[in-house]
A and B are shown apart, each in its own frame.
Chain A
Amino acid sequence: MSGDTLTPPREAPLAPRAVVINAEHLTIRFGDVTAVDDVSFHLDRGELFGFLGPNGSGKTTIIRALCGLIPLTSGDATILGMDVRKHAPDIKQHVGYMSQKFGLYEDLTVEENLNFYAAAYGLAPAAIKPRINELLDLTSLHPYFTRRVSQLSGGWKQRLALACAIIHAPEVVFLDEPTAGIDPVARRSLWDLFFQLSGQGVTFFVTTHYMDEAERCGRLGYIYMSKLIALGSVADLQKLPDANPPNTSRLELEAQAFQAPAISALLPRLRQFPGVREATIFGRAIHALVDTASIDPLHTAFPQLTIRTIEPSLEDIFVTLTYHIMAEQK
């Protein structure tokens, strides 16, 4: 084996709760623009961490900084104990990356793409074939091995992109909106793959806009205007004080018969109602955050609706947190 050879990382005995990614007070500025503002978090081995936030909030910048592509303005970050400032080339050997842009060569075949990335990550020639077969088993891409990528559907392309991203058996995988624009069935089977790998000890850092995907993650971070404003499991987030302001209740107001048009007609009235902080339509119902004191007046004002208290959904939480920050900034 040559000096370039990658040793499969999982030979090493692992501490049960090893910290794989550690970011402390991460700040990144481009000129006057602060893209990432004092962000701290850590990921344990085998964790599947979901990272949410609007477009342009700094999600991709954090990934690029953690991979050593962008210099940190201040703060510290380590991956597998390696400082991202000093060890970027080494970190790349242990980190996989996949974006919604696939990163595949459409005019090359599945085989050629896999071979290219295997060599690009410096796999020993003898190790390439067995590793590719392993990945073909994992992703069920065997029948497409000699096809050109341009002939594959979005779902299969994304599986191939994943295979290319993990060809060097990385311990950490960054997925930047991995399922954007693919159908629900392909989405689900891709997530099954993520869980399978995470069960083997691979740590996932996933950015997404889909709330159902976020709910699958063990822990979540929510970034808004370059700041990490929430961090924790879904249950942790539901208990956040900022997501549940004091003396408020989260209600579901449902039309008794099938009256969807009526519901949308009610929404503006409801938003004007004193004590209603947020209201939005969910199917046949309206989800609202209201002052607890206004619950009774609501019953009187909207007798046609069934009203009950609910737990906030992830989307509710993020919307409330965002409004909260916006209000603070004013």
Chain B
Amino acid sequence: MTDSAQVNSRHPRRIFFGLRPVARKEFTHILRDPSTLFFALLIPILQLFLFGYAVDTNVRQVPTVIFDESHTQQSRSLIQAFAASDIFQISTYVQSEAQMYATMRSGRARVAIRIPYDYARNLQLGTSATVLVLVDGSDSSIAGITVDASTGVALEQSLARIPGLTSQPIEVRPSVLYNPATRSANFFIPGLIAILLQMMIILLIALSLVRERERGTLEQLKMTPIAPLGLMVGKMIPYGALAFGELCIILTLMRFIFQVPIHGSLILLLFMSVPFLLTVLGIGLIISTRAHTQAEAFQLAMGTILPSVFLSGYIFQISNMPAFFRGVSAIIPATYYIQVIRGIVLRGAGFSDLWLNALILTLMGSAAILTAAYAFVKQNAV
């Protein structure tokens, strides 16, 4: 048997053995299966349009009901002042308190303004005139902004009544950097890119390995000398390439359809996307070692999406979260990648601002891939 031993010794045990055939085969699978290609490329684009147009967190034109008991010139000028701000949109006038509450309860108005019958008289007497502003608290963002806006209107009207005052004693001149129009799209679309890429990659790669398990080809692969890392990385290359292509498409759409300018370096953005793509590819592989059926893989993949949507800073500010959730968000890869995209796209940040994020993502990616390979090897024993 020494002969076979010699044959073997000429065959190096490379840790990436089998990478090329696996990658080539996987490319063929992708190209041959139009539904996968469709799913991979078109669905995220559709979602981009859906979310890109639908998500607008700026509060504007809130339907407002007016109950004016005063019916004076003064009360009408106050209503004018409310209507002039972009926040309130006077939708209904009512003649009784009951009607006012009914309008709020039914949701036809989010804000109710009640001007009492003695409003004009109190103004003239110089005593404090009160106006009741009711705000629907069931939507917290609307409530906060409308309360602030109504206080602002009142303040402005009060100052205007001080004789001889031509300019405000203190004037704040706010200037919004990086997103001067405060467009929601500028804020959300860069974050959405991370979420869409993550969803697409995790699903595709997890399903591709689980499919092999379901069909019995994985069993066959394990009998070949293909190394676990050869298989894993071989699968990652085609799906990574697909994701990179998708990233370029989405960035193009973001720039030219949604008109979100990229202030920083596009090259840096593409370069810093690689560690994120590797991380989510690794997570997909870990899922594939846990799931036995495609349905199970699908559910696990969706399970990773939810925390990434809510705890990564994509929608809610991380600094506002309780300590526990801040901790969770610190271990979510999308958190770091969203900071990278927003930094580069919105603020024109450079590598010196973002190198830590790149480092963390690289470490997470390596850990995920090695965990997946280890889990895969352990699995042989079952």
Q: Which residues of A contact B (CB under 8 A)?
A: 3-7, 9, 11-12, 18, 30, 64, 67, 69-71, 80-82, 87, 89-90, 92-95, 97, 99, 101-108, 112, 115-117, 119-122, 164, 171
For the complex of A and B, list the 7 residue pairs with the smallest distance between their C-beta atoms, beginning with the closest. Answer: A81-B1, A101-B216, A103-B220, A119-B21, A12-B3, A90-B8, A97-B223
> How many chain B residues have a CB neighbour from A under 8 Å?
37
Cβ of A92 and Cβ of B381 under 8 Å apart? no
A120 and B226 contact, Cβ closer than 8 Å, known pairs A3-B11, A89-B13, A90-B8: yes
Selected contact of A97 from candidates B10, B11, B220, B226, CB within 8 Å:
B220
Contacts of A87 in B (CB 8 A): 8
Contacts of A67 in B (CB 8 A): 223
Cβ of B7 and Cβ of A107 under 8 Å apart? no
Cβ of B17 and Cβ of A80 under 8 Å apart? no
A81 and B5 contact, Cβ closer than 8 Å, known pairs A105-B217, A108-B25, A112-B28: yes
A120 and B4 contact, Cβ closer than 8 Å, known pairs A69-B222, A92-B223: no
Q: Which residues of B contact A (CB under 8 A)?
A: 1-5, 7-8, 10-13, 17-18, 20-22, 24-25, 28-29, 32-33, 215-217, 219-227, 380-382
Contacts of B24 in A (CB 8 A): 116, 119
A-B contacts besides A12-B3, A112-B25, A120-B18, 5 pairs, CB < 8 Å: A90-B4, A101-B215, A108-B29, A116-B25, A164-B220
Contacts of A89 in B (CB 8 A): 13, 225, 227
Cβ of B225 and Cβ of A69 under 8 Å apart? no
A82 and B5 contact, Cβ closer than 8 Å, known pairs A101-B216, A120-B221, A121-B225: yes
Cβ of A93 and Cβ of B7 under 8 Å apart? yes
Q: Chain B: interface secondary structure? A: helix
Task: Provide the bound-state CA to CA distance between A7 and B6, in Å.
Answer: 10
Task: Provide the bound-state CA to CA distance between A164 and B5, in Å.
Answer: 24
Task: Provide the bound-state CA to CA distance between A108 and B22, in Å.
Answer: 13
Cβ of B10 and Cβ of A3 under 8 Å apart? yes
**Number of A-B residue pairs having CB atoms within 8 Å of each other in the complex:** 109
A102 and B224 contact, Cβ closer than 8 Å, known pairs A9-B7, A82-B5: no
Complex A-B: 7 CB contacts under 8 Å: A92-B223, A92-B225, A95-B223, A101-B217, A103-B219, A103-B220, A119-B21
Least CB separation from B218: chain A residue: A103
The smallest C-beta distance from B163 to any residue of chain A, in angstroms, reads 84
Least CB separation from B230: chain A residue: A120
Contacts of A115 in B (CB 8 A): 21
Contacts of A112 in B (CB 8 A): 25, 28
Cβ of B1 and Cβ of A103 under 8 Å apart? no
Contacts of B17 in A (CB 8 A): 122
Cβ of A93 and Cβ of B11 under 8 Å apart? yes
Cβ of A122 and Cβ of B11 under 8 Å apart? yes
Task: Provide the bound-state CA to CA distance between A87 and B7, in Å.
Answer: 13
Contacts of B5 in A (CB 8 A): 81-82
Cβ of B11 and Cβ of A106 under 8 Å apart? no
Contacts of A92 in B (CB 8 A): 223-225
Contacts of B217 in A (CB 8 A): 101, 103-105
A7 and B7 contact, Cβ closer than 8 Å, known pairs A70-B381, A82-B1, A112-B28: yes
Cβ of B10 and Cβ of A5 under 8 Å apart? yes
A94 and B215 contact, Cβ closer than 8 Å, known pairs A112-B28, A120-B225: no
The smallest C-beta distance from B204 to any residue of chain A, in angstroms, reads 15
Task: Provide the bound-state CA to CA distance between A7 and B382, in Å.
Answer: 33
A9 and B4 contact, Cβ closer than 8 Å, known pairs A90-B11, A102-B216: yes
The smallest C-beta distance from B325 to any residue of chain A, in angstroms, reads 38
Task: Provide the bound-state CA to CA distance between A120 and B223, in Å.
Answer: 10
Task: Provide the bound-state CA to CA distance between A11 and B4, in Å.
Answer: 10
Cβ of B7 and Cβ of A99 under 8 Å apart? no
